[in-house]
Amino acid sequence: MPRFSVIVPAYKVQAYLHECVESVLGQGFSDFELIAVDDCSPDGSGGILDEFAVRDARVSVIHLQENVGLGRARNAALSRATGDYLLFLDSDDALTPGSLQAIADRLKQTSEPDVLVYDYTRTYWDGRSARNQRADLLAQSPDGPQVFGLADRPELLRLLQVVWNKAYKREFIERRGFTFPPGYYEDTPWTYPVLLSARTIAVLDRVCVSYRQRRQGNILGTTSRRHFDIFEQYDRVFGHIENNPGLNRWRPAVFERLNAHIATIYGSTDRLPRSARAAFFKRARQYHRRYRPAGTPLDARQFLLGIGARRAFDALRMAGQLRRTLRARAVLAYRRMSGAAMLLHYGIQRRLPLDPGLAVFSAYGDRGYACNPAALEASVRALAPHVRTAWITTARHAHTLPPGVRRLHPGSAAYWTALARATYLVSNVNLSERYVKRRGQTNIQTHHGTPLKHMGVDLLDRPAAARDLDFDRLLRHADRWDYSLSANRHSTLTWERAYPSGFTTLEYGYPRNDVFQLATADDVLNVRNRLGIPREATAVLYAPTHRDYRRGQRTPADLRRMARELGPGFVILLRPHHLSEAPAAVLPEGVIDVSAHPCVEELCLAADVLLTDYSSIMFDYANLDRPIVLHTEDWAAYGAARGTYFNIIAEPPGLVARTEDELIDILATDAWRGPRSAELRAAFRARFCAHDDGHAAERVIRRVFLGEDDGLPSVIPLEHRRPAPAPSRARALTPRPHTTVPAPALSPFEVHPQA
C-alpha cells in the first residue's frame, strides 16, 4: 500500500501536463501512486498520460468515455486509490521539489491527522510568482498544539478553500463518504464538510504547490452563467451541516464565507455575462435570507458591503469603462480623421456583411507567396473552389503569385475591404495591428517552423533575444487566432505555452511540407537545372539562422574555405536568414546565392544535404529523409542568449560539427551520408515528422473551410511514405540530359502524382 495516492484529472491541458506529472514523478520521495484521469479530453492529454504510464509503473490512467467535469473525474480516481493519504493536483499545476517528503515528515510528526493543510504559491504566465497572501494562517507556534480541531483554529476557513492544498487520510474520507459534486466550484462542498468533520487537523507552513494562473483557459476566468453553480454548491455545504446537528455552530462562519464568495464572483468583471448580473444579484439576496443564522439582521453589514455595495461599485465601474471607451473611440476617430482615410473606409466596410466565400492570405509580413499560407491557398483553389482567394503582398513580390491569384496591395482600399469582409484570414506571422477581428471571421495562424529557439512569452526572461518585443501586442494578436497549425506534438505543446490564448490547435502537419511527398524526380531535376547546379554535383543547402547576440550577421562558416576544400564536386547553395547581411557581391566559385529565391521548399528539393545550425529548416528538410549536418560552433552562446527547448546537439537530425575543421571533414569524407547519419535522422523523423505525409493542407481545408470534422485523411506512417527522390536517385529515374534554361519557378504547391 503506497503512502500517497496523487490524483490528477486532465482536460485540455496538454501544454502543461508534462510539467505537472513530472513534478510528481521527479520527487525524491517515491512511495506513491499517481492516478491520472483523462476526462475524455479532445487534445493529446490522454496520450501524454499513457506515455507516462508506460515509462513509470507508479502511473495508472483512467480514460473516461465522456467528459464529466473536474469533480466526477476525481471521483473516478477515488474509487481506485489505495494510498494512506489522498493528494489532489490540478493538471496545470505542479508540486514543488521535495514537497512529498515534507508532507510525509509532517504527517509522521503530527501522528497521522485526518487532514494536513499546506501552502502554495501563485505562478503567473508572465513569470511572476507570489506566495499565498494568507500564509500567516499556516504558521505553527512552537508552544501551540501540533494537532487540533477546527474549533482551535477557525481562521483556517479564511484560506482559499480548494482541494489541492491538503492531504486527506483515505480512511477518514471513505468512512465519511465524501465525494465531489458536478458543476463549477466543486471544491466548495468538499473542503468545508471535510474541515468541519475532521477530528484532527495539522498544518505545514511550506509551499508545496505551484498554482498556475493561466492567462486564458481557467474556469474562474470564463464568462458563463455556470458561475450560478456556486449557489447549489453552498446548498450542499449547508445540507451537510443540517444532516450533522453537531456542526450547526459553524453555520455563521460558513454563512460569512458564502457572502464573501458570492461577492468575489459578482465583483469579478469577467465571470458573469452582463445580461446575467441582475439575476445573480437577486439570487444572492435569496440565499442571504435562506441561510442567514437566527439573530442576524436581514441587512447585515457584511452583506451590504460584500454584495449590495458591489452593485453600486459595478455601476460606477461600468460608467468608468464607458467613459474610457468613449475617450478611446474619440482618440481613434481623431487619428482616422487626421490622414487615415483608408481606416475610415475600413470602418465603413466592417459594418457590411462578411463575405462567406472570401479567404485572404499573407506570409512573412507580405513578402510574397510562400510557406504554409501558400500551400493552403493552392489547396483552397483545388478542394474548395467556391471560396475565392486573395493574397496580400507588395509589387516587389508580385511575381511570386501563381497565375490567377488576386493581389492585394498592403494599405490599399481593396486590402482594407478584404480584411473587413473576408470570412477566412490566413497568415504565418500576424496581420496588421489595425486589423480588428469581427465576429464570424476565422483566423488561421500557420506559423513558419518547428520551434527550437524560445518563442512568445518564453522570451520574457531573455532580454537579449526579446529586445523591444511588445508582449502585450503579441498576446493581443494571439487572441485573434482561432486555429494554430502544428507539425508535431513538440510544436503543439510549445505554441500553447508560448502563446497563452484560446485558439484550437490543429496538429495536422505543415502544409508547406506536402510537396516533399508529392514532388517527382522530374521536379527535383528541373529545380536543379534552373538553379544552375551541375548534373553530377553534390548540392549543399547552407541555411544558417539569425544570432540574437550578434550585431553583424555574417555566415558562421567560411564559404571560401569550404568551397576550396570540398572541390568542384560540390556546390553550396547559400540561403542566409532574412535578417542576416546580404551575401557578398562576388561569391567564391562553387557558391550560388539563393537568398532571393522565392521558395525554400524548392531549394530543399534540389539539395543532396542540408547544412544548418539552429534553423527550423532542419525539421522540414527531415521529411525528405536526406542527410543533415549541423555546424554548432557557438552553441553555448546561442543557447545562453536565445534559449532552446531542447539540446539539439544531444538529439540531432544528423552529424554534428563543433568546429569548421570537423564540418569540412564530415562533408569531404562522405560521413554526412553514412549509417550514423541515417540512424540519427530516423530518430529525429520519428519525433518531428509524424504528420507531414503530403496531406496536411487537405486536412486543414476539410476541417476549416469545408467543416468536415470526421473522415479527414488518415496519417500515412513514416515507413510507408515515398518522399521526393534525392538528386542521385532522380538522375537514375530520369536519365535524359537537362540543359540550363531560364524558366519560371515551379510552384511546389501544385499537386503531382506520387513518385
One DSSP character per residue, 479-495 reads TT-SEEEESSHHHHHHH
Instruction: Catalogue the E-assigned strands of 221-316.
Output: none
Q: What is the DSSP letter of 448?
A: S
Q: Which of 414, 427, 541 is nearest to 478 (CA)?
A: 427
Set of cell numbers at residue 331? 482618440
pLDDT-wise least confident of 164-173, 284-293, 409-418, 470-479: 284-293
- Better pLDDT: 296 or 371: 371
Encode pLDDT of 663-672 as tens digits: 999 999 989 9
| Contact between residue 606 and residue 527 where contact means Cβ atoms under 8 Å apart | yes
Distances (CA, A) of 294 to 249, 252, 284, 289, 319: 12, 9, 18, 10, 38
pLDDT-wise least confident of 357-361, 411-415, 689-693, 742-746: 742-746
- Better pLDDT: 297 or 557: 557
**DSSP H or E segment with residue 330:** helix 309-337
CA 320 to chain centre: 34
Question: Which residues, other chains included, contact 227 with Cβ-Cβ below 8 Å and sequence gap of 6+?
Answer: 184, 265, 271, 272, 280
Residue 111 in this model has a pLDDT that exceeds 80: yes
Phi, psi angle pair for 10, to nearest 5°: -135, 130
pLDDT at 730: 86
Encode pLDDT of 65-106 as tens digits: 999 999 999 999 999 999 999 999 999 999 999 999 999 999
Q: Average pLDDT, stretch 670-699?
A: 96
| Contact between residue 666 and residue 654 where contact means Cβ atoms under 8 Å apart | no
Phi, psi angle pair for 141, to nearest 5°: -70, 135
pLDDT at 251: 87
Q: Average pLDDT, stretch 291-310?
A: 57
Q: What is the DSSP letter of 582?
A: P
Amino acid identity at 192 = Y
Residue 741 in this model has a pLDDT that exceeds 60: no
Count of Cβ atoms closer than 10 Å to residue 28 Cβ: 9
- Which residues lie across from 4 on neighbouring strands? 32, 85
Alpha-carbon span 303 to 312, nearest angstrom: 13
| Contact between residue 620 and residue 545 where contact means Cβ atoms under 8 Å apart | no
Split at pLDDT 50, 70, 90, the class of 30 is very high
Q: What is the mean pLDDT of the chain?
A: 88
Q: Which of 675, 523, 711 is nearest to 606 (CA)?
A: 523
pLDDT at 726: 93
Encode pLDDT of 255-267 as tens digits: 888 888 888 888 7
Residue 651 in this model has a pLDDT that exceeds 90: yes
Strand bridging mode 570-574 / 538-543: parallel
Strand bridging mode 166-169 / 85-88: antiparallel
Alpha-carbon span 103 to 27, nearest angstrom: 12
Q: What is the DSSP letter of 453?
A: B
Question: Which residues, other chains included, contact 39 with Cβ-Cβ below 8 Å and sequence gap of 6+?
Answer: 9, 10, 11, 64, 67, 68, 69, 70, 73
Rounded to 5°, angle at Cα 395 from 476 and 469: 25
Axis crossing angle, helix 309-337 with helix 341-349, rounded to the nearest 10: 130
| Contact between residue 50 and residue 61 where contact means Cβ atoms under 8 Å apart | yes
Strand bridging mode 59-63 / 94-95: unpaired
Encode pLDDT of 210-253 as tens digits: 999 887 767 666 788 888 888 898 889 888 889 998 888 888 88
pLDDT at 217: 65
Q: Average pLDDT, stretch 148-175?
A: 93
| Contact between residue 421 and residue 358 where contact means Cβ atoms under 8 Å apart | yes
Q: Average pLDDT, stretch 689-707?
A: 96
pLDDT at 749: 45
